């Protein structure tokens, strides 16, 4: 089953955007391999695409996949430094809130590494399809920072104890583990094709109007909780963590390819 564009689409920098299935399915493709960084440019392109198509009549869902072997290595480390981190965090959280409020299901197809801001972005979707070899992780703590959006999203998707494991350790888990934890919905060698098949079988026959109300009904309490927590962890990150010596030291050490010198303050 082909997952290539079947009609002319639009592109916005690092993102390919088009519709297919007679306008019922919005397709978004991260198109800056191999890292597919969720940086300011990518965030802006994704936010614009969701904003532009949120009110499309007859649109039933969105499907996000990626070029290259990896979904995303995460956010830009340079944009985590004090001079840029407030703008980056707020932009990413605004994108996640737009996805949470988006009135149709968002299907996410993941191969390879799905890390950091890439996992935060993926976890904001409704359904996640992954290749068996995919890896999922929040490595931020290895750089002496924490993952704000993941701190809100992962407990909802995988449970509190499992989320804390990933958030504190910085380790990655494989796709079968992510499936068992409820983070992933389905494993497939070609996750984009599997997501497209799911759409065609289960969503395409539905009423777009009815699906809108079903999404609102199913997600309303979850969305309310996550949005409230996003505002809280954003303040904790910017007004607390980024005022510490070790957070800046951990980021600088990574960029300078040296071991960090933590002072535990």
Per-position DSSP letters for 208-261, written without gaps between them: HHHHHHHHHHHHHHHHHHHHHHHHHHHHIIIIIGGGSHHHHHHHHHHHTTS---
Yes or no: say if 71 and 122 are a contact pair by the CB < 8 Å rule. yes
Contacting residues for 208 by C-beta, under 8 A, at least 6 apart: 24, 57, 58, 59, 60, 104
Among 139, 123, 47, CA closest to 92: 47
pLDDT tens digit at each of 265 positions of the chain: 334 444 445 565 899 999 999 999 999 999 999 999 999 999 999 999 999 999 998 999 999 999 999 999 999 999 989 988 999 999 999 999 999 999 999 999 999 999 999 999 999 999 999 999 999 999 999 999 999 999 999 999 999 999 999 999 999 999 999 999 999 999 999 999 999 999 999 999 999 999 999 999 999 999 999 999 999 999 999 999 999 999 999 999 999 999 999 999 9
Yes or no: say if 250 and 262 are a contact pair by the CB < 8 Å rule. yes
Q: What is the pTM of this model?
A: 0.94
Please state which CATH class domain 1-189+206-265 belongs to. alpha beta
- Distance between CA atoms of residues 237 and 234, nearest Å: 5
Domain range summary for the chain, segments of one domain joined by +: 1-189+206-265
């Amino acid at each position: 089953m082909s997952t290539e564009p079947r009609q002319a689409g639009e592109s916005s920098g690092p993102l390919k955007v088009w519709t297919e299935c007679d306008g019922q399915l919005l397709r978004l493709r991260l198109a800056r391999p191999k890292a597919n960084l969720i940086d300011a440019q990518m965030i802006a392109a994704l936010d614009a695409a969701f904003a532009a198509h949120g009110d499309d009549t007859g649109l039933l869902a969105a499907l996000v996949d990626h070029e290259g072997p990896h979904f995303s290595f995460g956010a830009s480390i340079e944009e985590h430094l004090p001079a840029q981190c407030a703008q980056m965090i707020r932009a990413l959280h605004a994108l996640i809130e737009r996805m949470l409020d988006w009135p149709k299901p968002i299907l996410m197809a993941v191969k390879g590494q799905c890390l950091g801001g890439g996992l935060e972005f993926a976890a904001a979707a409704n359904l996640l399809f992954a290749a068996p070899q995919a890896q999922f992780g929040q490595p931020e703590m290895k750089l002496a920072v924490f993952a704000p959006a993941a701190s809100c999203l992962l407990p909802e998707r995988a449970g509190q104890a499992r989320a804390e494991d990933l958030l504190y350790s910085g380790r990655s888990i494989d796709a079968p583990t992510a499936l068992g934890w409820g983070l992933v919905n389905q494993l497939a060698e070609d996750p984009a094709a599997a997501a497209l098949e799911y759409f065609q079988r289960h969503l395409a026959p539905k009423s777009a109007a009815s699906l809108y109300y079903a999404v609102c009904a199913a997600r309303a309490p979850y969305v309310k909780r996550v949005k409230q927590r996003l505002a809280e962890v954003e303040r904790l990150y910017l007004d607390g963590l980024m005022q510490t010596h070790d957070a800046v030291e951990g980021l600088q050490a990574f960029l300078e390819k040296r071991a960090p010198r933590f002072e535990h303050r």
